């Protein structure tokens, strides 16, 4: 029912699936949603392969415009990815339209509502802050996920996971993978995929603006400070390293 109420706020927003009603019966909550023709973006890419920039960017701009209104209401989606975007007209490759759905992971992002957020992880699309229940999640969190989605649309590959990227940045620029892309567009994309929040594109409006700009400045990257503890070079003994890895395993 909470999901239904969040949906209802954006009934008239293009780019977001509509909800017509919600009710409770048989100890169950039901949502009546708009029926969407077509297929998920994930299925579309599986059938057709990577998209050209001319195909992909209008879709991303459409989702960004919708999410701008969602963020203005103080709500985050937190799970933007290929399987939560529906391509409505897969047969019209030169004029594809899309809608975002599944607000089941969405949460209020305002200070008033923000407490400990549930950890939502989709490898390659989740930000570093989403790995922590009290991570500083905001519009920049959804910007990263939408940028990761665009990256996959263009390259056919999921970007390097944010946690791995934070340790050793090995994410490849699309142009290095043979994708034909204007330099400003690629810079806009990579700015939005920066691991650290302070280095990343902050809003959907900013991201959309950079994608359409004739010139985009590359954001500077904050250098990681090495933590030097009581062990040489800040390293842990093998026993402690093993315990740390056990704590990180997703049981």
Residues designated catalytic: 79
Those residues with Cβ within 8 angstroms of residue 223's Cβ, 6 or more apart along the chain or in another chain: none
From CA 169, how far away is CA 161, in angstroms rounded? 10
- From residue 38, how far is each of 56, 87, 101, 190 by CA, in Å? 16, 6, 13, 30
List, in order, residues 6 or more apart from 205 with CB less than 8 Å away.
64, 68
Question: 22 has which bridge partners?
Answer: 31
């Amino acid at each position: 029912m909470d999901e239904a109420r969040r949906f209802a706020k954006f009934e008239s927003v293009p780019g977001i699936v509509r909800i017509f009603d919600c009710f409770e019966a048989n100890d169950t909550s039901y949502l009546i949603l708009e029926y969407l023709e077509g297929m998920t973006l994930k299925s579309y890419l599986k059938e057709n392969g990577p998209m050209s920039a001319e195909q992909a960017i209008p879709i991303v701009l459409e989702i960004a415009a919708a999410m701008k209104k969602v963020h203005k209401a103080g709500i985050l989606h937190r799970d933007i990815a290929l399987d939560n975007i529906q391509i409505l007209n897969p047969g019209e490759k030169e004029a594809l339209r899309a809608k975002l759905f599944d607000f089941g992971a969405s949460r209020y992002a305002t200070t008033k509502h923000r407490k400990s957020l549930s950890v939502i992880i989709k490898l390659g699309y989740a930000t570093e802050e989403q790995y922590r229940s009290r991570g500083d999640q905001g519009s920049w969190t959804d910007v990263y996920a939408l940028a990761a989605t665009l990256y996959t649309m263009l390259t056919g590959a999921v970007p390097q996971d944010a946690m791995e990227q934070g340790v050793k940045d090995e994410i490849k620029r699309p142009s290095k993978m043979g994708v034909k892309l204007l330099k400003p567009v690629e810079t806009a994309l990579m700015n939005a995929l920066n691991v650290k929040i302070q280095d990343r594109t902050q809003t959907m409006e900013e991201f959309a603006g950079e994608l359409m700009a004739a010139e985009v400045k590359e954001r500077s990257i904050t250098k990681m400070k090495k933590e030097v503890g009581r062990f040489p070079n800040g390293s842990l003994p093998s026993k402690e390293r093993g315990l740390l890895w056990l704590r990180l395993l997703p049981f």
